[in-house]
Amino acid sequence: MTTLDGIRRPEYTGERRCWPCTVVNVVIVVAAGAALYVAGYPLVAGVVAVLGLLGIWARGYVVPYTPRFAPRLAAALGLGDTFGHGDTFGHGDGPPQELGGSLGGDADPDAVVDTLLRADVLAEDEAGLYMTDEFRTRWRDAMEPLQEATLDELAEAVMGVRMDADVRAERNERGEYVVVASHDGNRLHDAWLTRPVVIAEVAGVNALAGSGLTREAQLVAVEPLRSFLEACPDCGGPVEETTTVDCCGGPAGTAAEPDHVLACTDCDSRLFTFPTED
Ligand SMILES: [Zn+2]
């Protein structure tokens, strides 16, 4: 089993197996096998069928990007609700419980702060780090045009700064999101960004233009910048530090520790999740 363990994908198998994706894959593998058989390659057909089915068993799916195209396929065929999880199939292709999505990837926080100090975006005194007035004004000015934007326009704005990613607008019962799908090594990683996060981060990238930072450095800087928000990027409401129990429809009553967050008191949006110290 060791060989199979190496290619197993626990996130798509076992209890987390998505049966609709599995069915879609089995249909595709069987159809491919049948087509090869009919075309006069019975041996190849057998190998394709056996390897395909084995792969589905071990990895959840073998057709690349199934979790992304299968729900759309099902929706197009009018089968979306048949599977009982709307158009998402309920496997990670929905907003994560903890909405920590950001335009940029993870970076060393100290290095990011150093870069922002050198670019005069942040400054430091005895009381700690603060955002310079000049940058705060530039950031707020960059947010203004985005506040009026529709979700599709926001998705377009994200495309402009993340050309490497597959960006789409998603609306579901939990809200409106811009989803940024990109490859993180071999894994497909979806970041689900809420309106306030998109507005803050796209405006952040725009405001950082001309600061001497590379685009890559701008993208990793915009998430920590959100911890310096003094007003909601979307509705302009006041912000406060709180826990997810008190805002954002957070996980009250679950065993999970609530997150320490910065949230808008008007629209209840989570604007920043403070890192947990452990
Ligand atoms: Zn708000």
Note down pLDDT in tens along the chain; length 278 residues: 455 556 666 666 665 566 666 777 778 888 888 888 888 988 888 888 888 777 777 777 777 666 666 666 666 665 544 443 333 444 445 555 445 688 887 788 889 999 999 999 999 999 999 999 999 999 999 999 999 999 999 999 999 999 889 999 999 888 899 999 987 777 777 899 999 999 999 999 999 998 889 999 999 999 999 999 999 999 999 999 998 777 666 554 444 677 899 999 999 999 999 987 65
Alpha carbon of 271 to ligand 1 centroid (Å): 9
- Strand locations in 67-184 (E): 122-125, 128-131, 166-172, 175-184
Non-local (6+) Cβ contacts of 88 within 8 A are 71, 94, 172
Cα 196 to ligand 1 centroid, rounded to whole Å: 7
Q: How far is Cα 148 from Cα 230, in angstroms, rounded to an integer?
A: 19
165: left (phi over 0), alpha (psi -120 to 50) or beta: beta
Output the pLDDT for position 69.
Answer: 67
Ligand 1: centre distance to CA 217 (Å):
27
Are 36 and 44 in contact, with CB atoms under 8 Å apart?
Answer: yes
- 104 in Cβ contact with 221 (< 8 Å): yes
pLDDT of residue 194: 94
Report if pTM > 0.85.
no
Instruction: Specify the pLDDT at position 19.
Output: 61
Token duo for residue 26? 């089995």
DSSP-based helix, strand, coil % in the chain, nearest 5: 45, 20, 35
Q: What is the CA(269)–ligand 1 centre distance, in A?
A: 6
Phi/psi for 64 (5° steps) reads -55, 145
pLDDT for the residue 187: 74
Ligand 1 mean position, distance from CA 233 (Å):
7
Any idea where the domains of the chain sit in the sequence? 2-83, 109-273
**Cα of 64 to ligand 1 centre, how many Å?**
38
Return the pLDDT at 87: 37
Q: What is the largest CA-CA distance in the chain?
A: 79
Question: DSSP letter string over 14-69?
Answer: GGG--HHHHHHHHHHHHHHHHHHHHTT-HHHHHHHHHHHHHHHHHHS--STTHHHH
Beta-carbon neighbour count of residue 22 at 10 Å?
Answer: 18
| Residue 195 CA, ligand 1 centroid: distance in Å | 9
Q: How far apart are CA 9 and CA 116, in angstroms?
A: 39
Question: What is the whole-number distance in angstroms between the Cα of residue 229 and the centre of ligand 1?
Answer: 11
- What is the pLDDT at residue 57? 77
CA of 25 to the centre of ligand 1 (A): 42
Give 240 Cα–ligand 1 centroid separation in angstroms: 11
Query: 81 is written with which tokens?
Result: 């609700």
User: How far away, in angstroms, is 33 Cα from ligand 1 center?
Assistant: 53
CA 212, CA 217: separation in Å to the nearest integer?
A: 10
The pLDDT assigned to 82 comes to 45
